[in-house]
Amino acid sequence: MKIRAVSLNNVRRFTHPARVDQVADGLNVLCEPNEEGKSTLFDAIQALFFKPHGSRDKEVSSLRPHVGGAPEVSVEVETEDGRFILAKRWFQKPFATVHRDGGLVAQSDEAEAWIGTLLGGDAGGPSGLIWVRQGMTDLTAGSKKEQDAALEARRDLMTSVGAEVEAMTGGRRMDAALARCREELANYATATGRPRANGPWKEAQDRVEELALRRNGLATTAQDLHDALAERKRARRDLRELEAPEAAQERRERLEAARTAHAAAERHAEKLEAEARKVEMARLTMDAARTRLESLHATLTEQSEATRLVADAEADAKEQQELLEQQRTSRDEADRAFQAAEAALKDAERGNALALRAKAALDGADRRKELSERIAQAERARSTMEAAAAARRGPDAETLRRIEALAAAHAAAVAARNASATQVVARYAEGREGAIRDGDAPLPAGKPVPLARITHLMIKGVGELEVRPGEAGDDHSVEAAAEKLRKALGEVDADDFDDARAAADVRAKTERRHDEAAAVLASLAPDSIDALRDALGRIPELEEDCEAPDPEEAEAALDRAREAREAARLARETAMERFSDLRNAASRAEATLASLRDRLARAEAALAKSGEVSEDDLATEARQAVDVHEAAKAAHEEKARNAPDLAGTGAVVNRAESVEQQARDEITRLKPLLARLDERIGRSAGDAVEERLAETEQELEAAEGTLARIEHEVAVLTRLEKALEASRNEARERYFEPIAKELKPLLHLLWPDAELTWGEESLLPDKLVRNGQSEPIDILSGGTQEQIALLVRLAFARMLAASGRKAPVILDDALVFTDDDRIERMFDALHRQAGDLQIIVLTCRQRAFRELGGKALRLEPVTAANETEVC
């Protein structure tokens, strides 16, 4: 189908009939400014094809002019069957008609059906796919209904263009199978394959876990019951054995016999102990007798020894006292001699000091004179320095060299100027020498005189000769050099270079004088003149009324006095040490004597005390005590040989008592234990633990079976889902192959090597791949998105045409954001697709679309000339 003309009447601003006609094959462009009715034209075409003439919905209502009226639209189309005029009016007297060659083909509902099949498809057919309303350039723009319609159209188109598409992807059957699989799987598992909360899988897992825990708990309880039963069996048996009368009687008899045997053993042990005590007593008596005898012997020996030592000590003490007295006298003498030597030393020190002071005064007289002279010379040198410094004027050597250079430069400038200046040579006639004068001076005869400036030569008797040197004499370098020279001379207060040199010589001489004076001063007073004066002040002056001894003699006398005093000091110390030693020795001798006298007194006191018993008596008593001790030992040994094993009989008693006690304790323990076990067993048995354990084990077995079945089911569903997804992915690439093939050359007009990837559900491009980089469509610029959208629509339109459903592409301001460079290439794309498609471009961008080309359309009021063509 191709549109050939569109007429509007009572449609929005077109309250009078307006028409676009002569719509051609290929590319048509209606380029009008805003508010000229392009979008109205688009909506009118849309309404004609897709809004029943009985509709009063808002879209149809929006077509009515403000003043009201019944919108009327007619479109002339050309199909393989010829040309038809489709017309509709809404609201008042609505109609729908199809005419051919002036004859009515269909009207009303039949006409609607006829129009509906023209483009094919429900839900708007391809309009959402290839008819782009202003502001809807985005592929995903529009209302939900419009998006759904576009998706349906794409799906329908994809299905129709690929004979194998449905078979290839499984289509809705695949969707249904996959959805069913996912639905059932979702009942069990989350998207990540984990058991879903509150789902049967999770519940089965929880159930198994819960039952296993319960089973383990019950098994433990059952085991406790078994253990309790076993323990009770043992306890009952033990209690029965312990409480048996025969056993109790046997225990009692065994204990009685043990106690009797042990009592006999204890009595024997007591007798043996008495014998042992007798032995000990005899031994003590024997030891005491021996001790007394030995003590008497020792006291006698001590008395004799002490008497001898006292006599020796008395002699020694006397001798020590005598020596002490002698040494006391010697010590006093030495002390006196030392005092005398001390006094003599002080006298000698005074004499020597006097002699030294006199000598220093004598020696200082020459030094004072020499210092005074050096101070006077230094003062003179300083005066000379100060005078020279004051007289230092005139240029220094550096300044003189600079002035000299300036003078040379000036002379050179003068010479250069003179060389090029006008020269006059006077040659006087005889008698007339000096008749020519330059100012006051006559011109020398025969000698060229340069004239650098206008010069007036006075010729005596003749008049004045003015000489003008011309441009050669107009040289300012001489004046500049002269000015520099004058300035330099002025700085040193000189009239000319010679004057400056003379002043420089004077300055040099003054500086030499200053330096010489400074050297003298440094030699005389290296530290300063004040330092010399201080040294002079420190030299003593001679005391005129004092008679000093000879220094050498005084020093010799002093040395002698010192030696004498040292000798006296040593002698006194030796005497005092000796005295101290002797005094200590005398004290020690006295102490020794006192101690020995005490010792002797003690020995004599001890003898006096034991004077009543003789040595023989004590010896007899000791021998008798030994005999008594030996007899007691023999009696004890005899008793010990016949003694029974007291520890053994005691152990037997302990064991028998222990057995009896254990029996009592065990009976005491077992009775309450049995009561506890009875209660424990009764409680567990009453709880039917085994019954519940068996039930739980059966439940667990069933739950494990259920879990295994569910896990198998999940595995089956998971495997099926993966298999379906994998196969669909494989088919998907083939699914999109036709559109990708159609789109590829269009894309390459803008981006060489660019590819689009497609959304599985939306059937729309979702990513642009350029230079290996993949970019989601929705992050691309508005212009790029717009261009991709248009290219995709053009590709779909071509596919639609290939499927036998040729429909015009209508684009209402579809390129809004595209820049000038890209829009040229988009124009190329439009022309490329316009080869076998009818494309109608509505745009307000008059200047930008000037280069699009194509057939220009006009939306014009119906005039008398074309009125007959309006339906």
Query: By CB under 8 A, is residue 698 in contact with another protein?
Result: yes
Q: 184 or 316: whose CB is closer to another protein?
A: 184
Query: By CB under 8 A, is residue 695 in contact with another protein?
Result: yes
- In SS3 terms, 20-52 reads as ECCCCCCEEEEECCCCCCHHHHHHHHHHHHHCC
Query: By CB under 8 A, is residue 362 in contact with another protein?
Result: no
Q: 179 or 274: whose CB is closer to another protein?
A: 179
Query: By CB under 8 A, is residue 740 in contact with another protein?
Result: no
Q: How far is the CB of 214 from another protein (least distance, A)?
A: 11
Rounded Cα–Cα distance for residues 833 and 673 (Å) = 104
Rounded Cα–Cα distance for residues 93 and 97 (Å) = 13
Among 202, 226, 357, 767, binds another protein (CB under 8 A): 226
Among 102, 526, 537, 686, binds another protein (CB under 8 A): 686
Q: Which residues of 481-497 are buried (b: 16+ CB within 10 A; e: fewer)?
A: bbebbeebbeebebeeb
Q: Which residues of 249-286 are buried (b: 16+ CB within 10 A; e: fewer)?
A: eebeebbeebeebbeebeeeeeebeebbebbeebbebb
Query: By CB under 8 A, is residue 181 in contact with another protein?
Result: yes
What's 189's DSSP letter? Answer: B
The H or E element containing residue 653 is helix 646-686
Query: By CB under 8 A, is residue 715 in contact with another protein?
Result: yes
- Computed over its alpha carbons, how large is the radius of gyration of the chain? 77
Query: By CB under 8 A, is residue 685 in contact with another protein?
Result: yes
Among 299, 321, 418, 727, binds another protein (CB under 8 A): 727
Q: How far is the CB of 854 from another protein (least distance, A)?
A: 42
Query: By CB under 8 A, is residue 589 in contact with another protein?
Result: no
Q: How far is the CB of 219 from another protein (least distance, A)?
A: 13
Q: 542 or 726: whose CB is closer to another protein?
A: 726
Q: 220 or 584: whose CB is closer to another protein?
A: 220
Residue with the two structure tokens 């794409």: 154
Mark the segment that binds another protein (CB under 8 A) among 123-131, 619-627, 723-731, 767-775. Answer: 723-731
Rounded Cα–Cα distance for residues 475 and 453 (Å) = 10
* Structural tokens at position 215: 């089973």
Q: How far is the CB of 216 from another protein (least distance, A)?
A: 16
What lies within 8 Å, CB to CB, of 186 at 6+ separation is: 196
Q: 186 or 405: whose CB is closer to another protein?
A: 186
Q: How far is the CB of 179 from another protein (least distance, A)?
A: 9
**Alpha carbon distances (Å) from 308 to 271, 313, 575, 587, 602:** 58, 9, 35, 20, 15
Regarding beta strands 27-31 and 855-857, do their DSSP bridges make them parallel or antiparallel, or are they unpaired?
Answer: parallel
Query: By CB under 8 A, is residue 214 in contact with another protein?
Result: no
Q: 49 or 735: whose CB is closer to another protein?
A: 735
**Alpha carbon distances (Å) from 202 to 66, 126, 198, 699:** 66, 48, 6, 17
* Structural tokens at position 570: 């040593």
Query: By CB under 8 A, is residue 731 in contact with another protein?
Result: yes
Rounded Cα–Cα distance for residues 64 and 87 (Å) = 16
Q: 705 or 782: whose CB is closer to another protein?
A: 705
Query: By CB under 8 A, is residue 225 in contact with another protein?
Result: yes
Among 215, 728, 793, 805, binds another protein (CB under 8 A): 728
Query: By CB under 8 A, is residue 862 in contact with another protein?
Result: no
Query: By CB under 8 A, is residue 240 in contact with another protein?
Result: no
Among 475, 699, 766, 828, binds another protein (CB under 8 A): 699
Q: Which residues of 208-233 are buried (b: 16+ CB within 10 A; e: fewer)?
A: beebeebbeebeebbeebeebeebbe
Mark the segment that binds another protein (CB under 8 A) among 190-198, 414-422, 710-718, 850-858. Answer: 710-718
**Alpha carbon distances (Å) from 226 to 218, 222, 235, 693:** 12, 6, 14, 13
Q: How far is the CB of 802 from another protein (least distance, A)?
A: 22
Rounded Cα–Cα distance for residues 297 and 285 (Å) = 19
Q: How far is the CB of 738 from another protein (least distance, A)?
A: 16
Binders of another protein in range 664-683 (CB under 8 A): 681-682
Query: By CB under 8 A, is residue 167 in contact with another protein?
Result: yes
Query: By CB under 8 A, is residue 708 in contact with another protein?
Result: no
Regarding beta strands 18-20 and 2-9, do their DSSP bridges make them parallel or antiparallel, or are they unpaired?
Answer: antiparallel
Query: By CB under 8 A, is residue 491 in contact with another protein?
Result: no
Query: By CB under 8 A, is residue 230 in contact with another protein?
Result: yes
Rounded Cα–Cα distance for residues 574 and 565 (Å) = 14
Among 726, 819, 850, 858, binds another protein (CB under 8 A): 726
Query: By CB under 8 A, is residue 219 in contact with another protein?
Result: no
Q: How far is the CB of 725 from another protein (least distance, A)?
A: 9
Q: For residues 842 and 859, is the Cβ–Cβ distance under 8 A?
A: no
Q: 99 or 728: whose CB is closer to another protein?
A: 728
Q: How far is the CB of 174 from another protein (least distance, A)?
A: 5
Mark the segment that binds another protein (CB under 8 A) among 134-142, 595-603, 725-733, 849-857. Answer: 725-733
Residue 851 CB burial class (10 angstroms; 0-12, 13-18, ≥19): exposed
Q: 402 or 732: whose CB is closer to another protein?
A: 732
Query: By CB under 8 A, is residue 1 in contact with another protein?
Result: no
Among 675, 716, 779, 856, binds another protein (CB under 8 A): 716
Q: 203 or 786: whose CB is closer to another protein?
A: 203
Q: How far is the CB of 86 from another protein (least distance, A)?
A: 40
Rounded Cα–Cα distance for residues 161 and 119 (Å) = 15
- In SS3 terms, 678-726 reads as HHHHHHHHHCCHHHHHHHHHHHHHHHHHHHHHHHHHHHHHHHHHHHHHH
What's 479's DSSP letter? Answer: H
Q: 233 or 393: whose CB is closer to another protein?
A: 233
Query: By CB under 8 A, is residue 720 in contact with another protein?
Result: yes
* Structural tokens at position 656: 């028998």
Q: 170 or 450: whose CB is closer to another protein?
A: 170
Dihedral Cα 138, 143, 146, 150, nearest 10 deg: 40
Query: By CB under 8 A, is residue 453 in contact with another protein?
Result: no
The site for another protein, by CB under 8 A, has a size of: 53
Q: End-to-end CA distance of the chain, in Å? A: 19
Query: By CB under 8 A, is residue 166 in contact with another protein?
Result: yes
Q: For residues 357 and 518, is the Cβ–Cβ distance under 8 A?
A: no
Among 690, 766, 824, 869, binds another protein (CB under 8 A): 690
Angle subtended by helix axes 646-686 and 245-390, to nearest 10 = 90
Among 694, 740, 754, 769, binds another protein (CB under 8 A): 694
Query: By CB under 8 A, is residue 490 in contact with another protein?
Result: no
Among 65, 170, 444, 853, binds another protein (CB under 8 A): 170
Regarding beta strands 441-442 and 860-861, do their DSSP bridges make them parallel or antiparallel, or are they unpaired?
Answer: unpaired
Among 46, 422, 684, 785, binds another protein (CB under 8 A): 684
Residue 528 CB burial class (10 angstroms; 0-12, 13-18, ≥19): exposed
Mark the segment that binds another protein (CB under 8 A) among 73-81, 607-615, 711-719, 796-804. Answer: 711-719
Rounded Cα–Cα distance for residues 170 and 727 (Å) = 9
Q: 160 or 649: whose CB is closer to another protein?
A: 160
Decide: helix, strand or coil at residue 95. Answer: strand
Binding site for another protein (CB under 8 A): 164, 166-171, 173-174, 176-177, 180-181, 222, 225-226, 229-230, 232-233, 681-682, 684-691, 693-696, 698-699, 701-702, 705-706, 712, 715-717, 719-720, 723-724, 726-728, 730-731
